[in-house]
């Protein structure tokens, strides 16, 4: 009887750039190397927020999202620079070009990290060292690389030694390296989920790995089972290069039943399109750095215009306002047949960087919560049941 060959054990790399924005600033300006450096929004204002910082700054207690005034108190000689997103994107592109020289199976998951399927590699540890040294020598950027049989274990491994670490994590290492950790230290488990797990007596990763399936599913849904699988080193997700392009843009467009001839009509259309784009961004856990609109006239002439946002967003109001501003600037006052909104340069929300003060951080969270509630009501009772008032 024919037996299929045993599938080859996968070898997955997770390449994670160390303090990426700060490292790029040091690559641009070598005089910054070795100094406590922070990239921060609103550099001249007391209420600015630390976006990222060098390891020299971290040694002084400086942390991401810390208010700038507090960081300067902890580290009086802190060097602070504003973000330069265009340059960061250029360095990110160069970084991924290096990775793709080793395999086409590269899946970017954010501007500064990605997975590589290196299953066909015969010398994975040597190749990992080579990649690390090339990024350091050619781009002046340090990275950590995790090596494991799946995405979860390679991601967990890359977090274990920073900066410039190379860590191998196999399933047989779980009992020693992963299970003793607090469950909140496991990748993919946030503070609220940790608190809920703790409430049910699941304190360590080992507790999660040994938890009863029925109870996990009852309390956390299918995500409970997935958490347990990860705690046991199980993660069947493939490295999918195409999935990155799925998230580079999320858009919605509509061909109008009647030609549009006024800004007021455009505003009504953009509100509906922004609702759809927002819902899709939130469903995938993503935010957009750029908003683009498409205008197709009745003679089928089509133009696309875009604007880069100051802060990555998934807020309906901001997406709609940006789209309408672009329309006002670029509409030639001829009849419009189609309108579209596309959120581009889309990244995971947890990796988004905000040039925000403390008040706008709080406002973003409140707006997100409000949108969730309103979306839930409209799903139950129909679109248009809620009318938005004006300030």
pLDDT tens for residues 44-76?
665 688 989 999 999 999 998 899 999 999 999
**Residue of 25, 56, 105, 113 marked active site:** 113
Task: Give the mean model confidence (pLDDT) for residues 246-266.
Answer: 85
Could you tell me the CA-to-CA distances from 63 to 23, 88, 136, 189 in Å, in that order?
A: 15, 20, 24, 20
Q: What is the pLDDT of residue 246?
A: 52
Q: pTM for the whole thing?
A: 0.67
- Worst-scoring range by mean pLDDT, 82-86, 145-149, 244-248? 244-248
Look at residue 317 in the predicted model and tell me its pLDDT. 94
38, 20 Cβ separation under 8 angstroms: no
Average pLDDT over residues 287-297: 89
Q: Where are the domains of the chain?
A: 8-171, 179-231, 242-352
Q: Is 113 a catalytic residue?
A: yes
How many percent of the chain have pLDDT more than 90? 61
Distance CA 12, CA 303 (A): 42
The CATH code for residues 242-352 is 3.30.1490.100
Q: Which residue has the higher pLDDT, 270 or 386?
A: 270
pLDDT of residue 102: 94
What does the pLDDT look like over 207-218, one tens digit per residue?
Answer: 999 999 999 999
Q: What is the pLDDT of residue 323?
A: 95
Q: Kindly calculate the radius of gyration of the chain based on its CA atoms and give it in whole angstroms.
A: 24
8-171 belongs to CATH 3.30.70.270: yes
Known binding residues for Mg(2+) are 16, 112
Q: Coil, strand, or helix at residue 346? A: strand
pLDDT (tens digit per residue) in 76-115 = 999 999 888 778 888 888 899 999 999 989 999 888 999 9
pLDDT on residue 83: 86
Is 388 a residue whose pLDDT tops 70? no
pLDDT band at 29 (very low <50, low <70, confident <90, very high): very high
pLDDT at 54: 96
According to the model, what pLDDT value does residue 361 have?
Answer: 41
Residue numbers in the known binding site are 16, 112
In the structure, what pLDDT confidence band is assigned to residue 387 with cuts at 50, 70 and 90?
A: very low
Mean pLDDT of the chain: 86
Which of 237, 176, 179, 172 is CA-nearest to residue 209?
179
How far apart, in whole angstroms, are the C-alpha atoms of residue 256 and residue 269? 9
40 pLDDT above the threshold of 70: yes
Task: Name the more confident of 387 and 326.
Answer: 326
- Non-local (6+) Cβ contacts of 240 within 8 A are 107
Query: CB burial class (10 A; 0-12, 13-18, 19+) of residue 258?
Result: exposed
Residue 360 scores a pLDDT above 70: no
CATH architecture designation of domain 179-231: Orthogonal Bundle (1.10)
Q: How confident is the model at residue 5 (pLDDT cuts 50, 70, 90)?
A: very low
Per residue in 184-239, pLDDT (tens digit) is: 999 989 888 999 999 999 999 999 999 999 999 999 999 999 999 999 999 999 99
pLDDT band at residue 248 under the 50/70/90 scheme:
low
Q: Where does the pLDDT of residue 247 fall: very low under 50, low under 70, confident under 90, or very high at 90 and above?
A: low
């Amino acid at each position: 009887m024919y037996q299929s060959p045993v599938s080859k054990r996968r070898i997955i790399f997770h390449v994670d750039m160390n303090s990426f924005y700060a490292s790029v600033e040091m690559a641009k300006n070598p005089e910054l190397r070795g100094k406590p450096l922070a990239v921060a929004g609103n550099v001249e204002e007391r209420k600015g927020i630390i976006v990222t910082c060098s390891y020299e700054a971290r040694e002084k207690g400086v942390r991401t999202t810390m208010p700038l005034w507090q960081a300067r108190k902890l580290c009086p000689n802190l060097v602070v620079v504003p973000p330069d997103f265009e340059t960061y994107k250029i360095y990110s592109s160069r970084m991924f070009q290096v990775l793709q020289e080793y395999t086409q199976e590269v899946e970017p998951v954010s501007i500064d990290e990605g997975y590589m399927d290196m299953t066909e590699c015969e010398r994975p540890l040597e190749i990992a060292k080579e990649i690390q040294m090339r990024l350091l020598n050619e781009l002046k950027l340090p990275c950590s690389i995790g090596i494991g049989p799946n995405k979860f274990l390679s991601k967990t491994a890359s977090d274990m030694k920073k900066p410039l670490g190379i860590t191998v994590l196999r399933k047989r290492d779980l009992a020693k390296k992963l299970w003793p950790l607090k469950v909140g230290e496991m990748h993919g488990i946030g503070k609220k989920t940790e608190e809920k797990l703790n409430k049910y007596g699941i304190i360590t990763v080992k507790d999660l790995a040994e938890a009863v399936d029925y109870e996990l599913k009852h309390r956390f849904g299918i995500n409970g089972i997935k958490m347990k699988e990860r705690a046991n080193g199980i993660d069947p997700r493939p490295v999918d290069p195409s999935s990155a392009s799925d998230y580079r843009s999320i858009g919605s467009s509509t061909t109008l039943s009647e030609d549009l001839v006024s800004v007021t009509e455009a505003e009504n259309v953009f509100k509906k399109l922004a609702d759809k784009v927002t819902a899709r961004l939130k469903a995938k856990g993503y935010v957009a750095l750029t908003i683009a609109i498409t205008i197709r006239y009745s003679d089928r002439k089509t133009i696309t215009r875009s604007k880069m946002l100051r802060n990555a967003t998934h807020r309906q109001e901001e997406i709609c306002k940006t789209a309408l501003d672009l329309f006002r600037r670029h509409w030639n006052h001829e009849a419009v047949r189609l309108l579209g909104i596309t959120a581009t340069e889309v990244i995971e929300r947890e990796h988004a960087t905000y040039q925000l003060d403390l008040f706008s951080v709080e406002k973003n969270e409140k707006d997100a919560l409000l949108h969730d509630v309103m979306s839930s009501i409209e799903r139950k009772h129909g679109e248009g049941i809620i009318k938005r008032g004006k300030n």
